[in-house]
């Protein structure tokens, strides 16, 4: 592992898994990943989510619904490609074939795999501004 260096870390967690495509449950999954990304950022690292890249592309490509051909063409392939640019993968949340695929791909590509935030070294602590 890079000592005292900022890492680019892909946060991999459930997106649709266990939601029945309920938009509120999907939003909660994205919030959990985004909240984790913020914590990682405040530890001095650069977090990324595949969703941040894939979802705008899916919309621009004209997807009509989750799981359609356009969605499937872009959603997981973008995250897999993103791993090439990351130093590590953090797996969070519950069951998810897609998140498990990101971990497997990370292992195959020689990336650092974290299973809990506590495993990630703090490079620098970024203090959150007060929200008075």
Residues 29-60: tens digit of each pLDDT = 999 999 999 999 999 999 999 999 999 999 99
Confidence of residue 124 (pLDDT cuts 50, 70, 90): confident
Residue 131 has a pLDDT of: 63
Per-domain residue ranges of the chain: 8-119
Q: What is the pTM of this model?
A: 0.90
Q: What is the pLDDT of residues 84-102, one digit of tens each?
A: 999 999 999 999 999 999 9
Residue 2 has a pLDDT of: 57
CA distances from 98 to 64, 84, 94, 103 (A): 21, 16, 11, 9
Length of the chain: 132
The full DSSP string for 22-57 is: -HHHHHHHHHHHHHHHHHHHHTT-EEE-HHHHHHHH
**What is the percentage of the chain residues whose pLDDT exceeds 70?**
92
Which strands form 88-91's sheet, in the order they lie side by side? Answer: 46-48, 8-12, 88-91, 112-114
Q: What is the largest CA-CA distance in the chain?
A: 46
Residue 111 has a pLDDT of: 98
Quick one: fold of 8-119? Rossmann fold (3.40.50)
Residue 130 has a pLDDT of: 63
Please give the mean pLDDT across all residues of the chain.
94
Residue 127 has a pLDDT of: 66
Q: Are 92 and 102 in contact (CB under 8 A)?
A: no
Residue 40 has a pLDDT of: 98
**Who contacts 30 (Cβ-Cβ below 8 Å, separation ≥6)?**
15, 49, 51
């Amino acid at each position: 592992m890079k000592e005292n260096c900022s890492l680019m870390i892909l946060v991999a967690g459930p997106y649709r898994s266990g939601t029945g495509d309920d938009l509120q449950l999907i939003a909660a999954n994205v919030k959990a990943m985004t909240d984790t990304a913020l914590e990682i950022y405040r530890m001095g690292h650069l977090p990324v989510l595949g969703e941040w890249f894939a979802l705008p592309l899916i919309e621009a490509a004209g997807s009509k619904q989750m799981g359609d051909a356009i969605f499937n063409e872009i959603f997981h392939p973008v995250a897999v490609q993103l791993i090439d640019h990351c130093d590590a993968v953090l797996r969070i949340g519950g069951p998810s074939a897609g998140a498990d695929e990101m971990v497997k791909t990370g292992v195959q590509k020689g990336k650092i795999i974290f299973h809990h935030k506590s495993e990630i070294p703090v490079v620098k602590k970024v203090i959150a501004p007060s929200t008075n």
